[in-house]
Amino acid sequence: MKRLLLFFIISAAFPYALFASDSLPFPVSLGGQAAKDGVPFAKIENPVAADAELAVESKSDMIIVNVNIVTAKNEPVPGSTPAVILLQGKTKTTIDKTMDGRKLPAGKYIMSVVSEGKTASILFTIK
């Protein structure tokens, strides 16, 4: 009987796991604002400064962040090169610390944060 009950609990949980939103597999904050899970992307509600602090709650030694400017349809601008931010042995930095040293101008962006074999996709705006 216990096995049957366990089977039904697992069966009920499996579809939930399939359809649960996974745009934010780990907590991320930008400019002191926690990203809010959403479909298809998580979001930072209010615009942030160009040097806003990025914090990722992860146990990974390497966190890779790609930042792309997006169109009004939240698609990467064709031909644009993403800015890359690496966090090695730390979980906090600022978004102006890109590998190529370029500052991100005002605009709307999508940030892909890769850690622990998962990716968080977050929309945000720089004021």
> Which phi and psi angles does 74 have, rounded to 5°?
60, 35
pLDDT of 120 > 90? The answer is: yes
The predicted-structure confidence for 72-95, as pLDDT tens digits, reads as follows 999 999 999 999 999 999 999 999
On the question of pLDDT at 1 being above 80, the answer is no
Domain ranges of the chain: 22-126
pLDDT at 3 over 50: no
pLDDT given at position 123:
97
Domain 22-126 has CATH 2.60.40.3080: yes
Using one digit for the tens of pLDDT, what is the confidence trace for 20-53?
A: 446 799 999 999 999 999 888 999 999 999 999 9
- Taking every pair of Cα atoms in the chain, the longest distance, rounded to a whole number of angstroms, is 63
The confidence score (pLDDT) of residue 22 equals: 65
pLDDT at 39 (0 to 100): 87
Neighbours of 124 (CB within 10 A): 26
User: Which is it for strands 118-126 and 62-69: parallel, antiparallel or unpaired?
Assistant: unpaired
